[in-house]
Amino acid sequence: MRIGMGYDVHKLVEGRDLIIGGVTVPYEKGLLGHSDADVLVHAIMDAILGAAALGDIGKHFPDTSKEYEGVSSIVLLEKVKELVEKECYIIGNIDATIIAQRPKMAQYIPQMVTNIAKTLHISEKQVNVKATTEEGLGFTGSGDGISAQAICLLNTVDNYAYDGTDSVAYVYDPEATETKNCSGCQGCCRNK
């Protein structure tokens, strides 16, 4: 098992949509950034990449690249999923916090969880998103920006027991690769 953490912050400005967790949140300001500046998804991507020791989003999606200008962070999250899968990692869970004085996020969080889980091809029960204010303190408390923090637990395919079919029994079993027959499974890098 491996654990990674991510942190991101973006400035609030006029003339931009506020996109958090793949949801367009109605607000008079949006986050400034090279992509859509989805602060939550950026923190989650960094947590996943960190757990896999694959650097950070700046390494993979530099803000100097025209290819990523204005891109949806959900698209980038899909690319991060592909990167960790190539390394034979499976996402165990994600826990993230949005830090914003306003707007209030509670009503949008269920859709954020759905978007993140769907993109990563994991259960919504593996994704937790919450929001908090800074009680008026700091740049987030004054409404100058929004930040997010995330942690991610990754497992290797060795932590999972295969039953010889296409399904995976999500049970931690450190001896799985030595004692289980994985024939027929094309789901992990051991078969590639």
* 42 labelled binding-site residue: yes
Strand, coil or helix: what is 84? helix
* 133 labelled binding-site residue: yes
* 2 labelled binding-site residue: no
* 135 labelled binding-site residue: yes
Check if the beta carbon of residue 105 is closer than 8 Å to that of residue 131. Answer: yes
Cis previous bond, 103, omega within 30: yes
* 57 labelled binding-site residue: yes
* 121 labelled binding-site residue: no
* 113 labelled binding-site residue: no
* 34 labelled binding-site residue: yes
* 116 labelled binding-site residue: no
* 134 labelled binding-site residue: yes
* 110 labelled binding-site residue: no
Instruction: Provide the sign of the torsion angle of the four alpha carbons 7, 11, 15, 18, taken in this order.
Output: positive
Q: Please, is 32 exposed, middle or buried when counting C-beta atoms within 10 Å of its C-beta (0-12, 13-18, 19+)?
A: middle
- Show binding-site residues for a divalent metal cation: 8, 10, 42
- Show binding-site residues: 8-10, 34-35, 42, 56-58, 100-106, 132-135, 139
